[in-house]
Amino acid sequence: MPHIERKELRPEETDQRLLSPGGQPTLWNHMDSTEPVGLWQDEGLSGCPQEGLSCSLDSSELVQECLSQFKVTGTQLRQIQTSLLGSMEQALRGQASPTPAVRMLPTYVGSTPHGTEQGDFVVLELGATGASLRVLWVTLTGIEGHRIEPRSQEFLIPQEVMLGPGQQLFDFAARCLSEFLDALPVGNQSLQLGFNFSFPCHQTGLDRSILISWTKGFRCSGVEGQDVVQLLRDAIKRQGAYNIDVVAVVNDTVGTMMGCEPGSEPCEVGLVVDTGTNACYMEEARHVAVLDEDRGRVCVSIEWGSFGDEAALGPVLTTFDHILDQESVNPGAQRFEKMIGGLYLGELVRQVLAHLAQHGTLFGGCTSPALLSRGSILLEHVAEMEDPSAGTARVHAILRDLGLSPGASDAELVQHVCVAVCTRAAQLCAAALAAVLTRLQHGREQQALQVAVATGGRVFERHSRFLSILQETVKLLAPTCDVSFTPSVDGGGRGVAMVTAVAARLAAHRRLLEETLAPFRLNREQLAMVQAQMREAMAKGLQGEASSLRMLPTYVRATPDGSERGHFLALDLGGTNFRVLLVHLATGGVEITNQVYSIPECVAQGSGQQLFDHIVDCILDFQQKHGLTGQSLPLGFTFSFPCRQLGLDQGILLNWTKGFNASDCEGQDVVYLLREALARRQAVELNVVAIVNDTVGTMMSCGYEDPRCEVGLIVGTGTNACYMEELRNVAGVAGSSGQMCINTEWGAFGDDGSLGTLSTCFDASVDQASINPGKQRFEKMISGMYLGEIVRHILLHLTSLGVLFRGQQIQLLQTRDIFKTKFLSEIESDSLALRQVRAILEDLGLPLTSDDALMVLEVCQAVSQRAAQLCGAGVAAVVEKIRENRGLEELAVSVGVDGTLYKLHPHFSRLVAATVQELAPHCAVTFLQSEDGSGKGAALVTAVACRLAQLARV
């Protein structure tokens, strides 16, 4: 496979670099070499060689004058590259251009092949080979290196059909299809067809394409402005012989890209130089204005043959280009194509030869009727005459066939003309391709680009030098691009079949993905059911009846009123880190000094005595560092584990969570365990006023800023909620007036099986592998500790179905907890381009395609959306309970929230709020993000308790 290495060249060196050692343009040394021809220098001689031609000085000057018109400098090529790039980007933005420009038509091909496509496909090819129609039967095996040659049949299209009514053309195509299939054992099977329609079209879908204008000699009436796929479907239906589904309409350029064998670099550019010329490439969908998409990629057909920027093309247009254009069937149109396409190269050569002959420089001043006839010199003639391996004998033979009598030096001069015309074509094509590569870099924000370009068309097939000139020029114009060129395998046939196969694969994968994620997409009725079940569980828990919600009294009887003042200590234990804080509540605000201490795993899972001794050592260290030794400040202890409180300063640990498992603690009063440890260290007795759950601390922290804050919510590693309940409803606490904060411990909601209808097989797998199977079921569907694991299990399932990673089992994905919940937040971020999503996943060792990245994104979205909606259903249950407790028609309440999942995930908070609004329409709920709820909140619980105690004494 030809390959371009990256090569940097300073702009001022570009033109000089391309001279031969003697200072002459490399064109003239090329007749004895198969090395690629470079760009010509901006100044100096550029016509025929000064020696070896038997012609007068005037004749030599005439030859130089003719051929110098085909000279293209490096500066001019860079100008064309820049101009074309500007036209591309303008068209992508949907901005109209005052001059003829490129169209940038989305093809709705959203994925390139990954080698597993398989099945039988029918291809109908119209317009790719002139006045003929081809039907193919293509079998894709899905096995690398194993190809089955397609069956095909070509049908000549009569002239009257090419110029007649559109229905006549499509009926002819349907009859050809039937005739072809009659010879195959098709039976009644449903066939998938790819339609290669190689004319300018405006696609509005993969199977919807409006013909803009006929080209290539076709002029069928009633087709322009119509959907050609529908016209074909109607004709097939009229024929009525076979059950054929037209899956995709594809132009030959897209087919070329798709027909490229998968290699080390992704093949994301197609380049065709045939009768005409065009290119396509995979653009980021968010940059294509007409699509209104923000994810994924789409193949864009540039239609660069219509590029006609006068400022860029004007300096390289020759007298012969102007004559050719005026004599064409579409004067003023397709100017770029007329300088490159195979339909025109022979005609340009003919015009130059005729001009030189008429001025006595060639063939002894003689012409012939053939030489003066349009279309007499074809691309094949040019390629053969230019080929140095054929020598001059072939040149003489072709010229004699034109009725000419070439002299001894005529053959060499004719070769120079062919070289000049074809070299310019290859260089112009390279400038356009360099613009495409630059666009790819810009769109993907990459400093360097690695990509494969699939090439197709008769110019590449029959003109051996064209590719080498193209490669050399691209290397100079796009030095930061590492490009591989690979010939497409029958782009019009196999490539179109591949588009059809990829569409079929994506459709099948889409069905499997939707089936997999369907249980995560909860409707309003399901969410309302969760809300109702939670309300029922809350009521039972408050009355002391059997319930999955413990509804634990916290003995916090009021929220802050803003008058709290003083210095307070706070302790915060709820994860792998332990904090000690000094909190100063003053008129000007809250001042916090804190220090973080780690809890080693051996301590967290060792003995209870070891854990609390470590906690006391941290407290003593903090007191010493901050001059607090010997002082006994009021202290609040945030202990973020399920406890049954018997008083504000008494909390019985029910069970450990979050990876803690210290022995001899469950069933014990944790404040007592702390005081015992202080005694062992012979430390000053601490004034432990309150033991606080982190959820309560969050509510109190926000309540200091907003007196309406009566609900606390944590959505981080775990999840929980608390709220201010009417004391009359709390069966386990004496008194009937006033309020008390209730810790719902809602992470355990559903442990009684009430969430069974919403639980998936992936939830079951995560639960079974956890340290507490069957427990904390609600938490395992919501919190950050588990969402990444749910996603990992879904990805494993989709891989086993062949939907992801080409069905290849990724060993790293088998590792528990490898997919962190923080990846969900990063992957779902609106600011991330798809390439950044891919980078995150590739860092995990996942060899994924853009399609894989999009599907992983969808999985993450489904899992996090369900989590947010379930959380919202829970909050809705809580605020509705408060509203009904107070007999209010409308309730205005604030919810204090903490937790990394809620704060860092780009959509979680919005989804929670939207769900609450839908399920509790009579509650105006404001969400406040807590600042240090577990530290500041614990101090505030303590401060409120001190304030209430002082009031009681008064």
The predicted model gives 389-397 an average pLDDT of 84
pLDDT at residue 107 greater than cutoff 80:
yes
What spatial distance separates the first Cα and last Cα of the chain, rounded to whole Å? 92
- Decide the pairing of beta strands 634-639 and 566-573: parallel
Report CA Rg, the chain: 38
Q: What angle do CA 449, 452, 453 make, to 5 degrees?
A: 115
Average pLDDT value for residue range 574-590: 86
Asked if residues 513 and 856 have their Cβ atoms less than 8 Å apart, the reply is: no
- Note the pLDDT of residue 377: 95
The arithmetic mean of pLDDT across residues 480-509, rounded, is 87
pLDDT tier for residue 831 given thresholds of 50, 70 and 90: low
**pLDDT at 3 > cutoff 60:** no
Element (H, E) at 707: none
Q: Say if residues 251 and 261 touch (Cβ distance below 8 Å).
A: no
Sequence-distant (6+) residues with CB within 8 A of 710 are: 559, 699, 703, 723, 724, 882, 893, 894
How much of the chain exceeds pLDDT 70, in percent?
A: 92
CB neighbourhood size of 793 (10 A): 22
What's the confidence (pLDDT) of residue 835?
Answer: 67
Is 722:730 a contact under the CB 8 Å cutoff? no
**pLDDT band of 97, cuts 50, 70, 90:** low
Q: Residue 385's closest CA among 397, 368, 402?
A: 397
pLDDT at 24: 31
Q: DSSP states of 283-328 as a string?
A: EEGGG-TTT---SSEEEEE--GGG---HHHHGGG--HHHHHHHHHS
Distance CA 118, CA 776 (A): 45
Give the confidence band of 41 by pLDDT, cuts at 50, 70, 90: very low
pLDDT, greater one: 832 or 87: 87
- The H or E element containing residue 399 is helix 391-401
Q: Is residue 96 scored above 70 in pLDDT? A: no
Specify the pLDDT at position 268: 93
Cβ atoms 612, 673 nearer than 8 A: yes
Segment 202-220 shows an average pLDDT of: 90
Query: Which of the residues are catalytic?
Result: 579, 640, 694
Q: Is the pLDDT of residue 220 over 70?
A: yes
886-893, long-range: CB within 8 Å, 24+ apart, which pairs? 886/726, 889/922, 890/922, 890/923, 890/924, 891/922, 891/923, 891/924, 892/708, 892/923, 892/924, 892/926, 893/708, 893/709, 893/710, 893/711, 893/923, 893/924, 893/925, 893/926
What average pLDDT score do residues 723-742 get?
91
- Helix %, strand %, coil % of the chain (to 5): 45, 20, 35
- Confidence check: pLDDT of 88 > 60: yes
Greatest mean pLDDT range, 43-52, 98-107, 756-765, 843-852:
756-765
pLDDT at 621 over 50: yes
Q: Mean pLDDT across the stretch 212-235?
A: 93
- What is the pLDDT confidence band of residue 56, given thresholds at 50, 70 and 90? very low
Average pLDDT, the chain: 87
pLDDT of residue 523: 97
- pLDDT given for residue 834 in this prediction: 66
* pLDDT at residue 861 in the model: 94
pLDDT in tens, 587-613: 878 889 999 999 999 999 999 999 999
Instruction: Indicate if the pLDDT at residue 34 is higher than 50.
Output: no
Cβ neighbours, 10 Å, residue 475: 22
| Segment 883-891 mean pLDDT | 96
Q: Single out the residue of 906, 891, 893, 899 nearest to residue 929, CA to CA.
A: 899
Reduced to 3 states (helix: H, G, I; strand: E, B; else coil), residue 149 is: coil
Neighbours of 833 (CB within 10 A): 16
pLDDT at 27 over 60: no
Backbone angles phi, psi at 124, to 5 degrees: -115, 120
Nearest CA among 786, 791, 789 for reference residue 775: 786
Decide: 211 and 125 in contact? Cβ < 8 Å. no
Q: What is the pLDDT of residue 9?
A: 34
Band of pLDDT at residue 16, cut at 50, 70 and 90: very low
Determine the Cα–Cα distance for residues 742 and 32; give it in Å rounded to an integer. Answer: 93
Share of the chain above pLDDT 90, in %: 58
| pLDDT higher than threshold 70 for residue 426 | yes
Over range 885-907, report the average pLDDT.
95
For the cut 90, the answer to whether the pLDDT of residue 324 exceeds it is yes
CB 518 within 8 A of CB 510: no
In angstroms, how far is CA 514 from the centroid of its own chain? 19
State pLDDT tens for residues 696-719.
999 999 998 899 999 999 999 899
* Per-residue pLDDT tens over the stretch 110-147: 888 877 888 899 999 998 777 899 999 999 887 766 67
Q: Which residue has the higher pLDDT, 908 or 200?
A: 908
Q: Which residues pair with 594 in a beta bridge?
A: 581
Q: What is the pLDDT of residues 767-814, one digit of tens each?
A: 999 988 999 999 999 999 999 999 999 999 999 999 998 888 888 888
Question: Mean pLDDT throughout 743-766?
Answer: 95
User: In this structure, what token pair is assigned to residue 787?
Assistant: 């969402």
Question: What is the H or E stretch that residue 10 is in?
Answer: none
Express each pLDDT in 495-534 by its tens digit.
889 899 888 888 899 999 999 999 999 999 999 999 999 9
Sign of CA dihedral 22, 28, 33, 34: positive
- Higher-scoring residue by pLDDT: 935, 555: 555
| Residue 396 contacts residue 411 (beta carbons within 8 Å) | yes
Q: How many other C-beta atoms are found inside a 10 Å radius of the C-beta of residue 651? A: 28
The pTM of the whole model exceeds 0.85: no
* pLDDT above 90 for 215: no
Report whether pLDDT(98) > 80.
no
- Here the tokens at position 203 are 């696609």
Residue with tokens 């209104």: 292
Q: What is the mean pLDDT of residues 52-65?
A: 63
Q: What is the pLDDT of residue 35?
A: 33
Using pLDDT thresholds of 50, 70 and 90, give the confidence band for residue 264.
low
User: Is 481 strand, coil or helix?
Assistant: strand
